[in-house]
Amino acid sequence: MKIKMKIQSAAIILLLALAFQSLSAALPGDSERIAEQEFITLRGKIIDAETRTPLVFASIAITESNVGMITNIDGEFTLKISPDLLSHNIEITFLGYKNKVVPVSSLRDNGYKNTITLETAPIPIREVIVRPLDPEAIVEKAISRLGKNYESVPNLMTAFYRETIRKNRTYVSIGEAVLEIFKAPYTNDLRFDGARIYKGRKSTDVQRMDTILFKLQGGTTSVLQLDIAKNTEAILTTEAMKYYDYSITGVIEVDDRPHYVIGFIQKPWIEQPLFMGSLFIDMETNAITEAEFGYNLSDIAAATAMFIRKKPFGMEVTPEIATYRTKYRAQNGKWYFSYSRAEVRFKVKWKRKLFNTFYTTMSEVAVTDRTDQEVIKFAGREKVRYSDIFSEKVSAFTDPDFWGDYNVIEPDQSIESAIRRLSRRLKFSDRQDLDE
C-alpha cells in the first residue's frame, strides 16, 4: 500500500550529479556588513554533573525573552545578547535532566571557563500513574491538542542554519546562514512556513569532491518541515497512526516536567519505508515537546529509490542512516519550534574499485529569536524553495567576523578546524587567480 506523505520531502533528498563535474570556487552574494552594534558575548559548556561528559543539543534560553540557542556536539555554546538583558538569567534544559538557572552576569567575558553542570532528574513514583496505559490513546490525545498547545498567530523568527557534507571523516563542504522564518499559525489550514536568507557563506573543497559532486537539495526547507507538530501528515494524524505500532518505553523529565516516551515503528505489512523513533509527550498538557526519529531503512531498495534522485553510471549508492531531531521551547503556555536537525549517511561503491566511500550530510536550524508583532508574510520570490541548492545561493567566506552580533550554533572542534582548512585553501586559490 502506498502512503502519500508530504513530510517525505524532509528526508533530505541528496542529488548525485554526473561524475567529474566541478564546483565554482565562489559565487556572487551579499557582501554587505551589518552596522557594528554593542552586544555582550556569553560562552559556556554544559556537562553532566557526575560523568563530566558534554550534553549535546542542550537548550539555552534567556529568561523573560525570546532569545535562545543550542549546544554543539562538544556541549559548547556562544550567545550574543543586548546589554539590557544583563540583569536576566540563563535557563538550561536538557532531556532527562533538572533545569538550571544561572545569572547572565556570571557568564560575562569568562570564555569557555564557564562550565555548567546539570544533574539527572529521576521521576518520582508519584508522577507515574499506576494503571494500564494505552500508548495509542496518549498519541491521539496529543494530536487532538495540537491546535491548543502550539501558536495560533504568525511569528517571525530569526534562526541560524548550517549544512555540511563529509567524505568519510573529512568535511568537504560547509554552508551557514542567518535566516528569517515566517512561521504560520498551527491552527490555520494553510500552515505553510517560509524562510529567506538574510546573509550566508559557504566553502567547498573542490579537490576532495572531484570524483562525485554531491548537492544537498532543499536543506533549509527540509529542516523546517521536521516541525512535526505542524507537518503532521506522516506521523501525527489519526490516518497515519494506522500504519504504526506504539509502545511506552519510559518516563522522563523534560524542562522540569514529566513526559511519556512513546516509541513508534511501522507495522510489518507496510511496504514503503516509514519512520521509527520516539515522541516525548508532556503528561499534563499532552504537548509533544521533542521528537527523535529516523527512516526505517530495512528495505534497502525502497530506501535507495526514495533518497537518490540521480547518480552516475556504474555507481551503487545505499543510504545507511537517516536520523532526525525536533525540539520545542515552552513559553507562556505554548510551545514554539526551536530546533531541528537531519543527518543522512550514504555508502558509495564504484564498480572496479576496492574500497567504499561514505558521504554524510547534516543540516540543522536553531531559532535564536522571534516576535509575533507586526509579522508580514514573505513574498514568494524571496523564499527559499525546496528545489534550491543552498550552496549555490551564498558566496564563499574567509571573514572570521562575518556574523557580527548574530547568534550562531558554536562550531564543534571538527567543523572549526575544517572551516580553517577550507578558508586557507580558498585564500590560496584566490592568490593563484590573482597571479594568473
C-alpha 235/C-alpha 322 separation (Å) is: 16
Largest CA distance in the chain: 77
All residues at 6 or more sequence positions from 79 whose CB lies less than 8 Å from its CB, including other chains: 41, 42, 43, 60, 62, 67, 69, 90, 407
Give 87-143 pLDDT, tens digit per residue: 999 999 999 999 999 999 888 666 667 899 999 987 755 555 555 589 999 999 999
Q: Which residue has the cell 490513546?
A: 137
If 0-12 CB within 10 Å is exposed, 13-18 middle and 19+ buried, where does residue 131 land?
Answer: exposed
C-alpha 63/C-alpha 142 separation (Å) is: 27
Contact 325, 340 (CB under 8 A): yes
Look at residues 395, 311, 323 and name the one whose alpha carbon lies nearest to residue 350.
311
Give 217-264 pLDDT, tens digit per residue: 667 788 888 999 998 888 889 999 999 999 999 889 999 899 999 999
C-alpha 264/C-alpha 276 separation (Å) is: 5
| From 211-220, 250-259, 262-271, 318-327, the region with the lowest mean pLDDT | 211-220
SS3 316: strand
All residues at 6 or more sequence positions from 199 whose CB lies less than 8 Å from its CB, including other chains: 30, 32, 34, 177, 178, 402, 406
All residues at 6 or more sequence positions from 184 whose CB lies less than 8 Å from its CB, including other chains: 154, 190, 191, 192, 193, 230, 377
Amino acid at 287: A
Amino acid at 311: K
C-alpha 359/C-alpha 217 separation (Å) is: 15
Contact 112, 45 (CB under 8 A): yes
All residues at 6 or more sequence positions from 22 whose CB lies less than 8 Å from its CB, including other chains: 206, 210, 213
pLDDT at 12: 38
Q: Indicate if the alpha-carbon torsion angle 71, 72, 73, 76 is positive or negative.
A: negative
Does the pTM surpass 0.85? The reply is: no
Q: β-strands 395-396, 194-204: how paired?
A: parallel
C-alpha 89/C-alpha 103 separation (Å) is: 4
C-alpha 365/C-alpha 223 separation (Å) is: 7
pLDDT at 436: 46
If 0-12 CB within 10 Å is exposed, 13-18 middle and 19+ buried, where does residue 405 land?
Answer: middle
pLDDT at 308: 66
Give 141-180 pLDDT, tens digit per residue: 999 999 899 988 999 999 998 888 888 888 888 888 888 9
CA atoms within 13 A on the CB side of 421: 16
As given in the structure block, the three cell numbers for residue 424 are 586557507
More confident residue, 386 or 130: 386
Region 303-321 average pLDDT: 73
Phi, psi of 349 (to 5 degrees): -130, 125
C-alpha 184/C-alpha 145 separation (Å) is: 17
Contact 302, 336 (CB under 8 A): no
